[in-house]
């Protein structure tokens, strides 16, 4: 069975203006897919222009924005891939050192964007994929890749909201894959470890901090690169037998409490 051919198809990448999403968008475009960069950052326009795609300003928690991204993709070609890479973090202990509980609105916001936003984009994209013609005798119509985190399994002190949101993504992978099996859409999740993205900043101090973090990785002893995550994104999209799986891409790290 050949890999899923992305030539002439369309793909949506949330959070595609930077980091892991940008790396995935570049590889999808290189594979011949017309990419839709769905991001809140205006920098997505330059990325879309570079890759010959389209930028749609998108709040992943909005059904209207999700539908706009899907409509834009469907104009470019049959929608075959969604990469859910948009997300935020919010550090804070369940009870802070001053005795105050974690802000509930902050907790809700992290879960809303990371988990609910991923489901919003996923469910609506899958509905669009279900309306396309199958690409093979198996009835395959598309593939979805969600982005969780190793924090879903070994979340550190201060990651209560982030770990909850990413754990939810891991938990919904199998039942959603089962739901979508009837329409020929595969669903997989990646759980990245420590990845070198703009969140760490730039400059000498940032480089020193990242080098220190890299020492805790089993091998290789460094932070991962967005391109390395994108390699796995492409494998999960194009391998027709990958389904309902959560794959850690983390250099073998197991996070300590702090």
DSSP characters for 208-258? Answer: HHHHHHHTTSSSSSS-EEHHHHHHHHHHHHH-TT--S-EEEESTT------
pLDDT value for 206: 84
User: Is the distance from CB of 67 to CB of 45 less than 8 angstroms?
Assistant: no
Kindly state the average pLDDT of the residues 128-133. 98
Cα separation, 230 vs 217, in Å, equals: 19
What local confidence, expressed as pLDDT, does residue 201 receive? 77
Could you identify the residue written with the tokens 């802070």?
96
Q: Catalytic residue positions?
A: 162
- pLDDT at residue 22 tops 90: yes
Predicted TM-score (pTM) of this structure? 0.96
The answer on pLDDT for 185 being more than 90 is: yes
Q: How many CA atoms lie within 13 A of 11 on its CB side?
A: 38
Whether 58 has a pLDDT exceeding 90, the answer reads yes
10-248 topology per CATH: Rossmann fold (3.40.50)
Three-state DSSP state, 206? helix
Residue 199 pLDDT exceeds 80:
no
Distance between CA atoms of residues 162 and 179, nearest Å: 26
* Whether pLDDT at 36 is above 80: yes
Phi, psi at 11, each rounded to 5°: -135, 145
Q: What is the reported pLDDT for 229?
A: 97
Q: Which residue has the higher pLDDT, 89 or 200?
A: 89
At 130, the pLDDT band (50, 70, 90 cuts) reads very high
Is pLDDT at 207 greater than 90 in this prediction?
no
Please state, in angstroms and rounded to a whole number, the distance separating the CA atoms of residues 108 and 103.
9
Buried b (16+ CB within 10 A) or exposed e, 18-55: bbbbbbbbbbbbebebbbbbbbbbeebbebbeebebbb
Q: 155: helix, coil or strand?
A: coil
Residue 156 gets which letter from DSSP? P
pLDDT digits (tens, 9 = 90+) for 138-160: 999 999 999 999 999 999 999 99
pLDDT of residue 80: 98
| pLDDT bracket for residue 83 (50, 70, 90) | very high
- For residue 148, the model assigns a pLDDT of 98
Looking at residue 35, the DSSP 8-state letter turns out to be E
For residue 123, with 0-12 CB atoms within 10 Å meaning exposed, 13-18 middle and 19 or more buried, which class applies?
Answer: middle
Q: Are strands 79-84 and 10-14 parallel, antiparallel or unpaired?
A: parallel
Q: What pLDDT, on the 0 to 100 scale, is given for residue 200?
A: 76
């Amino acid at each position: 069975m050949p890999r899923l051919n992305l030539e002439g198809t369309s793909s949506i990448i949330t959070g595609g203006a930077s980091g892991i999403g940008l790396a995935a968008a570049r590889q999808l475009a290189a594979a011949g897919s017309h990419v839709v960069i769905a991001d809140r950052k205006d920098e997505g326009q330059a990325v879309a222009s570079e890759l010959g795609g389209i930028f749609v300003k998108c709040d992943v928690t909005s059904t209207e924005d999700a539908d706009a991204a899907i409509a834009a993709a469907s104009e470019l070609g049959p929608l075959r891939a969604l990469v859910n890479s948009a997300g935020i973090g919010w550090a804070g202990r369940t009870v802070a050192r001053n005795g105050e509980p974690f802000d509930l609105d902050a907790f809700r916001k992290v879960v809303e964007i990371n988990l609910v936003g991923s489901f919003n984009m996923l469910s609506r994209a899958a509905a669009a994929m279900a309306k396309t013609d199958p690409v093979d005798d198996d009835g395959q119509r598309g593939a979805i890749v969600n982005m969780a985190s190793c924090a879903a399994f070994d979340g550190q002190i201060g990651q209560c909201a982030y770990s909850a949101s990413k754990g939810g993504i891991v938990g919904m992978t199998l039942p959603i894959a089962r739901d979508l099996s009837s329409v020929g859409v595969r669903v997989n999740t990646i759980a990245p470890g420590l990845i070198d993205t703009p969140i760490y900043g730039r400059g000498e101090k940032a480089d020193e901090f990242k080098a220190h973090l890299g020492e805790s990785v089993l091998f290789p002893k460094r932070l991962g690169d967005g391109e390395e995550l994108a390699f796995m994104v492409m494998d999960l999209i194009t391998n027709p037998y990958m389904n309902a799986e959560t794959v850690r891409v983390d250099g073998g790290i197991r996070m300590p409490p702090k």
